[in-house]
């Protein structure tokens, strides 16, 4: 297992500043997910850890050793790429064993390690097949098997599931998480998919424009986002952002007759924002039908439903609050149909408040 430390790392591609002074420490055995939109620097950061990209400033330490000038093959890191990168004319066994043979590993040890890895990945019955005879999920398992037989210090995954369909992605997320538990190794996983990040990570590192926007456990970022960007990135459907004004004990929603009561425990936090603009962040699941919520922490709103999107167990309804579109997650039996007016309750204890100038949460 490895302890990874990144200090003030910068990476340039000509005039483009891809990674901007990242500081990051990853404890031994942790499953860390680097997440963010395309172009935020997450894959570049991963490749610098692997040694596939040279850094321009800063340092990378593994187990206390600075590895800036250490070749990729000598860092004892295994990497799984987005494309499977399998040799088409080698069997599954030979693909998994390739790295071991390159390191002059004894034949008996190779056979033992390939057998163990293929068993863990449920591909032990495929060892004599060729890549062209495998499905996408099986190909990805082979690529992962080739990495885990290495018994490396750190395992890196660069968007390994993006080529799979939704059902296979769900299945493989569970497989990779199970592997992490069984191997107990440090794993760093890159994705742009916030669902993957939430379901797999011990810790999420959310990047934006080459910098870390926020890091912490999935629930930390989901429940206590530091910025509007973090709040909007995590969650599907994403958080609703409503423009309003703090007036006495309420938030008045702009361009509407709606207002939201501010709970007692929040009032002190908003004292300095009295009579100032504010953004209210409400997640879709924090709406409910008004008849089930008469507690003081709830505010009621009468809204006109513009669109209903049923998913089976839940339905998503679209409406407007002032000039802001909003989505609520409701039970299917709660709905009457399109173009109907219903009363909703908002759980104000779960709402977040955002300064519209700094876009920092209050």
Q: What is the CATH number of the domain that holds 327?
A: 2.40.50.140
Is 362 within a domain?
Answer: no
225 and 342 fall within a common domain? no
Whether 188 and 154 have beta carbons less than 8 Å apart is answered as yes
In this prediction, residue 310 has a pLDDT band, given cuts at 50, 70 and 90, of: confident
Domain boundary among 233, 248, 268: 233
Is 167 within a domain?
Answer: yes
In this prediction, residue 7 has a pLDDT band, given cuts at 50, 70 and 90, of: very high
199 and 277 fall within a common domain? no
What percentage of the chain exceeds 90 in pLDDT? 62
Quote the pLDDT of residue 151.
83
Residue partners of 19: CB distance under 8 A and separation at least 6: 9, 10, 11, 41, 44, 45, 48, 210
| Residue range 173-205, pLDDT digits in tens | 888 898 899 889 999 999 998 889 999 999 999
Quote the pLDDT of residue 292.
52
164 and 262 fall within a common domain? no
Cα Rg of the chain (Å, integer): 25
Quote the pLDDT of residue 313.
84
Domain containing residue 268: 240-354
| Residue range 317-326, pLDDT digits in tens | 999 999 999 9
Distance CA 43, CA 192 (A): 10
Number of domains in the chain: 2
153 and 213 fall within a common domain? yes
Domain boundary among 233, 252, 272: 233
228 and 248 fall within a common domain? no
Taking alpha carbons only, the member of 318, 348, 326 closest to residue 240 is 326
The model carries a pTM of 0.89
Given a cut of 90, is residue 85 above it in pLDDT? no
| Residue range 38-56, pLDDT digits in tens | 999 999 999 999 999 999 9
Quote the pLDDT of residue 294.
55
Name the CA dihedral angle for 90, 137, 201, 192, rounded to a multiple of 10 degrees. 100
78 and 205 fall within a common domain? yes
Domain boundary among 200, 233, 266: 233
Given a cut of 90, is residue 120 above it in pLDDT? no
| Residue range 131-140, pLDDT digits in tens | 999 988 889 8
């Amino acid at each position: 297992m490895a302890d990874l430390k990144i200090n003030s790392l910068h990476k340039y591609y000509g005039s483009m500043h891809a990674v901007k002074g990242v500081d990051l420490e990853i404890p031994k055995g942790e499953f860390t997910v680097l997440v963010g939109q395309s172009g935020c620097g997450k894959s570049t950061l991963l490749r610098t850890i692997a040694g596939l990209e040279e850094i321009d400033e800063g340092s990378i330490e593994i187990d206390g050793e600075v590895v800036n000038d250490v070749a990729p093959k000598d860092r004892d890191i295994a990497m799984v790429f987005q494309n499977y990168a399998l040799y088409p004319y080698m069997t599954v066994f030979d693909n998994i064993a390739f790295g071991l043979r390159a390191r002059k590993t004894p034949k008996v040890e190779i056979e033992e390690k390939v057998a163990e890895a293929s068993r863990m990945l449920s591909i032990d019955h495929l060892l004599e097949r060729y890549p062209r005879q495998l499905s996408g999920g099986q190909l990805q398992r082979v690529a992962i098997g080739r990495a885990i037989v290495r018994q490396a210090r750190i395992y890196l995954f660069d968007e390994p599931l993006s080529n799979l369909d939704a059902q296979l992605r769900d299945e493989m997320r569970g497989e990779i998480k199970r592997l992490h538990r069984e191997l107990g190794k440090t794993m760093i996983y890159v994705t742009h998919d916030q669902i993957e990040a939430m379901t797999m990570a011990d810790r999420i590192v959310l990047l934006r424009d080459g910098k870390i926007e926020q890091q912490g456990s999935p629930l930390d970022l989901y429940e206590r986002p530091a910025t509007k960007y973090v709040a909007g990135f995590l969650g599907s459907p994403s958080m609703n952002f409503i423009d309003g004004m703090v007036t006495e004990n309420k938030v008045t929603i702009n361009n509407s007759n709606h207002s939201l009561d501010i709970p007692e425990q929040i009032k002190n936090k908003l004292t300095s924002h009295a009579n100032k603009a504010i953004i209210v962040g409400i997640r879709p699941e924090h709406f409910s039908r008004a008849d089930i919520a008469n507690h003081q922490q709830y505010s009621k709103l009468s809204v006109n439903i513009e669109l209903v999107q049923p998913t089976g167990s839940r339905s998503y309804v679209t409406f407007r609050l002032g000039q802001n579109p909003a989505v609520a997650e409701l039970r299917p039996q709660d709905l009457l149909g399109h173009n109907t007016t219903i009363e909703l309750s908002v759980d104000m204890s779960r709402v977040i408040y955002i300064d519209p100038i700094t876009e920092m949460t209050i």
